[in-house]
């Protein structure tokens, strides 16, 4: 078994890496991989009820886990009121899960621009056109407006509503399913300048 495989085998004996980003880098695709992970982003609603939705994990590093969205969206209003969030990444076949909880900060301007550049034409048009007003129209009119906008804007620049955030985790919990034993979690919690870890029941 290679060292790389042992790193993300939560069932293996031995001491896990001191830095959870080492494990996150083993588990998640690199930022340059075009297929982005779909994550469940949890926020606290302005009405006090938990809220959640799927977003793409655009990038991650020691400055946080980045996602990008519309400034007009509910999640942005919620984050303005309380800049804290969770993220859940689930792997196919329910073999692995990663749960993050932490503070949320605005993403750097150049990272927001890089995320825009990496999005497909369809997603860029969504950023420009996907309004509640459009959603309220009859289907034929929505299709007609969509096609007209695409024809008039063959190379749209970055939408003014396009914003990004980074979740800075205070806790990361890696979960691995078990086939010959129980599932198991490895939880990292910020402690001083570093991390404390513990194994938990799955
Ligand atoms: C697979 C998938 C990926 C999505 N990715 C994003 C995304 O990266 N950014 C985004 O703003 N919305 C994304 N959405 C739409 C959100 O789930 C959500 O409907 C939208 O952002 C409005 O959320 P809010 O009203 O809670 O702010 C995605 C939806 C799906 C199903």
Whether residue 161 has its Cβ less than 6 Å from ligand 1: no
Dist CA 43 CA 164 (whole Å): 15
Report percent pLDDT > 70 for the chain.
96
Among protein residues, the one with the nearest Cα to ligand 1's atom 12 is 55
Q: Are 147 and 155 in contact (CB under 8 A)?
A: no
Instruction: Tell me the mean pLDDT in the region 89-111.
Output: 95
Q: Which two tokens stand for residue 88?
A: 């859940």
- Within a domain: residue 62? yes
pTM, whole model, 2 decimals? 0.94
Q: Are 119 and 84 in contact (CB under 8 A)?
A: no
Count: domains in the chain: 1
Q: Which domain holds residue 103?
A: 3-119+160-201
- Within a domain: residue 92? yes
- Within a domain: residue 183? yes
Measured N-to-C along each axis, helices 139-152 and 121-129 cross at an angle, to the nearest 10 degrees, of 110
Report percent pLDDT > 90 for the chain.
87
pLDDT at residue 90 greater than cutoff 70: yes
Q: Give me the CATH number covering residue 31.
A: 2.30.110.10
Whether residue 40 has its Cβ less than 6 Å from ligand 1: no
- Within a domain: residue 113? yes
Instruction: Tell me the mean pLDDT in the region 175-195.
Output: 92
Give the model's pLDDT for residue 4: 41
- Within a domain: residue 126? no
E strand or H helix at 129: helix 121-129
Which of 1-15, 120-134, 173-187 is the least confident region? 1-15
Classify residue 33 by its DSSP letter: -
């Amino acid at each position: 078994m290679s060292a790389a495989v042992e790193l993300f085998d939560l069932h293996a004996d031995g001491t896990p890496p001191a830095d959870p980003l080492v494990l996150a880098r083993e588990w998640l695709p690199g930022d340059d991989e075009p297929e982005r992970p779909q994550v469940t982003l949890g926020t606290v609603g302005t009405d006090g009820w938990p809220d959640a939705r799927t977003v793409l994990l655009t990038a991650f590093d020691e400055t946080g886990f980045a996602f990008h969205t519309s400034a007009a969206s509910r999640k942005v209003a919620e984050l303005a009121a309380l800049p804290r969030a969770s993220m859940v990444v689930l792997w196919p076949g329910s073999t692995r899960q990663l749960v993050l909880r932490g503070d949320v900060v605005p993403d750097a301007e150049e990272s927001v621009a890089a995320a825009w550049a990496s999005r497909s034409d369809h997603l860029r048009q969504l950023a420009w056109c996907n309004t509640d007003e459009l959603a309220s129209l009859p289907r034929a009119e929505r299709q007609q407006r969509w096609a007209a906008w695409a024809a008039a804007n063959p190379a749209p620049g970055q939408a003014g509503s396009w914003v990004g955030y980074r979740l800075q985790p205070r806790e990361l919990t890696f979960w691995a399913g078990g086939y010959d034993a129980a599932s198991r979690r490895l939880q990292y919690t910020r402690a001083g300048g570093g991390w404390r870890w513990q194994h938990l029941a799955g």
